[in-house]
């Protein structure tokens, strides 16, 4: 597995990471044994940049990763997040970026993960009642104490990123980015590059849609949250399948799968872009990892951008 560097202070990660959320939450039925086997294989293959959050599975996702970290901690570049609050029943109840909460959340994550350090610690969403400067300053104190190595932020504006970076170096901004979600391009991505902040692309295959394996709503489990997502509504799904058709056709020409095509396109957007596709499947993990072998010519990239321009998807992303 190739590696890439996030930020200006040397955070080296696998060029394709692993989003672990679906192993515990949101995307239908799952088996812990499958997830653990996939995590083990990921490390064997060098897919060592793992992404979780304290709210995934109400902490269960961190505990799941902890079972592998107990034996293979030094092989993992571990990222987790704080700040999104859920009730014991899983309902979203708010955001918290207060300095006291930052510390409590970090210490709780360290305990669940069974480790003494978090490699990349993100604020999951900015809390409107706490200035980002105060939150980042509190995160920075965790770096000073050795509990966290690098700082990250998620889904913030270019101005907010600049304000945060004035307080403490930011290694990475996590933002949804794929062939059907390109809002990060322009002002936000420009700010990342101005400040030397890497971009971690979550949902790089359009929440699985760009793989071509979701053709109708009944392909999703009854408890799959995508059924409530606007892009997966009956009307929008039909329109968005046309975009998938474009990806499938281009992938055939390139001799790869649609998933690999989507990931390779992201990798071609710059050495500072790192996708973190999520999967519970060893087969899909192997498929995704092979995307690093695919290269596009400038002409091919221009053609892709023309066929799948920014704003092409039907429906809001949330």
Q: What is the pLDDT of residues 136-175, one digit of tens each?
A: 999 999 999 999 999 999 999 999 999 999 999 999 999 9
Contact 102, 58 (CB under 8 A): no
Given this model, what pLDDT does residue 229 score?
92
CATH number for the domain harbouring residue 18 = 3.20.20.100
Given this model, what pLDDT does residue 318 score?
87
Given this model, what pLDDT does residue 25 score?
82
Q: Stretch 73-91: mean pLDDT, rounded?
A: 95
180 in any annotated domain = yes
State the pLDDT confidence band at 26, using cuts at 50, 70 and 90.
confident
76 in any annotated domain = yes
250 in any annotated domain = no
The percent helix, strand, coil of the chain (3-state, each to 5) is 45, 15, 35
Given this model, what pLDDT does residue 205 score?
93
Q: Active-site residue among 56, 101, 150, 177?
A: 56
**The pLDDT of residue 28 is above 80:** no
**The pLDDT of residue 192 is above 80:** yes
Q: From CA 212, how far away is CA 244, in angstroms rounded?
A: 6
Given this model, what pLDDT does residue 89 score?
86
Q: From CA 119, how far away is CA 142, in angstroms rounded?
A: 11
Q: Are strands 148-154 and 172-176 parallel, antiparallel or unpaired?
A: parallel
Instruction: Tell me how far CA of residue 238 lies from CA of 12, 304, 315, in angstroms.
Output: 40, 21, 11
222 in any annotated domain = no
261 in any annotated domain = no
**The pLDDT of residue 126 is above 80:** yes
pTM of whole model > 0.75? yes
221 in any annotated domain = no
35 in any annotated domain = yes
Question: Mean pLDDT across the chain, nearest whole number?
Answer: 95
253 in any annotated domain = no
Determine which of 44-53, 233-242, 263-272 has the lowest per-residue pLDDT on average: 233-242
Identify the domain containing residue 202 by its residue range: 3-209+266-294
Q: Which of 307, 314, 216, 210 is nearest to 262 (CA)?
A: 210
Q: Would you give the DSSP letter of residue 278?
A: B
**The pLDDT of residue 66 is above 90:** yes
Calculate what percentage of the chain has a pLDDT beyond 70. 100
Count of domains for the chain:
1
Active site residue 56: yes
Q: From CA 303, how far away is CA 297, in angstroms rounded?
A: 10
The sign of the dihedral angle between the CA atoms of 110, 74, 200, 287 is: negative
**The pLDDT of residue 179 is above 80:** yes
Given this model, what pLDDT does residue 46 score?
97
């Amino acid at each position: 597995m190739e590696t890439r560097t996030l930020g200006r202070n040397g955070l080296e990660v696998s060029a394709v990471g692993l989003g672990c959320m679906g192993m515990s939450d949101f995307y239908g039925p799952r088996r812990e044994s499958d997830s653990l086997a996939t995590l083990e294989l990921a490390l064997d293959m060098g897919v060592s940049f793992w992404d979780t959050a304290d709210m995934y599975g109400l902490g269960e996702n961190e505990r799941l990763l902890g079972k592998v970290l107990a034996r293979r901690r030094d092989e993992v570049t571990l990222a987790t997040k704080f700040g999104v609050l859920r009730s014991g029943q899983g309902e979203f109840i708010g955001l918290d970026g207060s300095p006291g909460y930052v510390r409590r959340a970090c210490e709780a994550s360290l305990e669940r993960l069974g480790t003494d350090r978090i490699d990349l610690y993100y604020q999951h969403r900015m809390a409107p009642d706490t200035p980002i400067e105060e939150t980042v300053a509190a995160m920075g104190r965790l770096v000073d104490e050795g509990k966290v190595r690098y700082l990250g932020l998620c889904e913030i504006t270019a101005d907010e990123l600049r304000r945060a970076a004035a307080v403490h170096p930011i290694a990475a901004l996590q933002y949804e980015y794929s062939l059907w979600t390109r809002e990060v391009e322009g002002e936000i991505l420009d700010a990342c590059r101005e400040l030397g902040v890497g971009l971690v692309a979550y949902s790089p295959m359009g929440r699985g849609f760009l793989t071509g394996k979701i053709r109708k709503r009944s392909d999703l489990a009854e408890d799959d949250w995508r059924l409530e997502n606007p892009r997966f509504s009956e009307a929008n799904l039909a329109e968005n399948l046309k975009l998938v058709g474009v990806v499938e056709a281009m992938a055939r020409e390139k001799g790869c799968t649609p998933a690999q095509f989507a990931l390779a396109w992201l990798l071609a957007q710059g050495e500072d872009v790192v996708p973190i596709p999520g999967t519970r499947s060893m087969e899909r993990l192997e498929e995704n990892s092979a995307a690093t072998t695919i290269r596009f010519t400038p002409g091919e990239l221009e053609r892709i951008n023309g066929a799948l321009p920014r704003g092409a998807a039907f429906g809001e992303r949330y």
